Amino acid sequence: MVRSLIFFLSLTFCLFSCEPEFAPPEDFQGLSDKKRKKLIQHYEGKRRAYYQGSRYKQESYELLQKLDPENESYFRGQSVTHSKIGDYHIAFPLLEQSKELNPRENLYYYAWLLLDLYHDYERALAYLEKYDAFTPDQKDYAWGENVYQLKGKALKGLGRYSEAIKMFSQAIETEGDYPDVYSFVYRGICHAAEGNYSAASSDFDVAIQQYEQCSMAYFYKGKAAWEIKKDAKIARQNLNQARQLLLAGYKKTDPYKEVMDEIHIEMADDLLSLIH
């Protein structure tokens, strides 16, 4: 029993820690096509076998870049961990290299990342425009999100609210019967920023109709009611509802970054303390 356990632990350690059965060549220039293909297959398998951020996974990316320097996905793939842990000085050059090699394959991720993680709204908008231009007659998505919604968020981040409203409206229109509820929330926030309470309240109401637990819609409706109309009753009702939903765990959030206009219970408490 003890021997079996030792063998199992040793095997497990080897699987996750041992070096490959053959070392990479120092000179990649003289490889035959057959040898190069075999090495690519080997390090592709190794890359997939190890968890994100593992030293061996990162080393595999570096070797794959040498073996196939025209493959943009190796540069983009290696950048992911560095973006998540804040090593932007490493992630950015890798992403730029990926973009130069194949902008069509790179920009759907890079533009989204610039917007949602780096908050580089100006460059994100420029890259979203380039990405969208590849297929002008097609509904596009960047990392699973409607490209018009992403453009709207970038324009909103730049304070260009009227243009952002148009982009959110396009996102809603192109999604047909299943628009993203947060297209209405973000469009409502833009209307509120322009002082248009009626349009903002209407958007927040639609969001709530679609998703009754949308704490963000309740919060920003309450905020607009107080800041624009000075309607204490409506403001309190919506802020208290947002507060209850937040306490129950209904919150738009992300484990890697702060969501645009993310709300916290302290924000509701602070606003409620100001209402008289």
Do 65 and 24 touch, CB atoms closer than 8 A? Answer: no
**Predicted model pTM:** 0.85
Amino acid at 185: V
Where residue 9 falls among pLDDT bands split at 50, 70, 90? very low
Euclidean distance between CA atoms 75 and 101, whole angstroms:
10
Euclidean distance between CA atoms 202 and 191, whole angstroms:
10
Which residue, 81, 85, 104, is CA-closest to 94? 81
- Please give the helix or strand (H or E) that residue 232 lies within, else none: helix 232-247
The alpha carbons of the chain give a radius of gyration, in whole angstroms, of: 24
Residue 160 three-state SS:
coil
Return the pLDDT at 244. Answer: 98
Return the pLDDT at 26. Answer: 60
Average pLDDT over residues 169-197: 97
Distance between first and last Cα of the chain? 72
For the chain, domain boundaries: 10-101
Each residue's pLDDT tens digit, 225-245:
999 999 999 999 999 999 999
Residue 250 three-state SS:
coil
Residue 112 three-state SS:
helix
Return the pLDDT at 13. Answer: 40
Residue 167 three-state SS:
helix
What would the two tokens of residue 120 be?
Answer: 């580089």
Each residue's pLDDT tens digit, 25-63:
566 777 888 998 999 899 989 888 888 888 889 999 999
Residue 146 three-state SS:
strand
Q: What phi-psi label fits residue 27: left (phi over 0), alpha (psi between -120 and 50 degrees) or beta?
A: beta
Each residue's pLDDT tens digit, 196-227:
999 999 999 999 999 999 999 999 999 999 99
CA 230 to each of CA 6, 14, 46, 222: distance values in angstroms, whole numbers, following the listed order: 71, 66, 61, 10
Return the pLDDT at 234. Answer: 98
Burial class (CB within 10 angstroms; exposed 0-12, middle 13-18, buried 19+) of 227? middle
Do 152 and 186 touch, CB atoms closer than 8 A? Answer: yes
Return the pLDDT at 84. Answer: 87
The 10 Å Cβ neighbour count of residue 269 is: 11
Amino acid at 237: Q
What would the two tokens of residue 271 be?
Answer: 């606003």
Each residue's pLDDT tens digit, 123-170:
999 999 999 999 998 999 998 999 999 999 999 999 999 999 999 999
- Please give the helix or strand (H or E) that residue 102 lies within, else none: none
Return the pLDDT at 12. Answer: 44
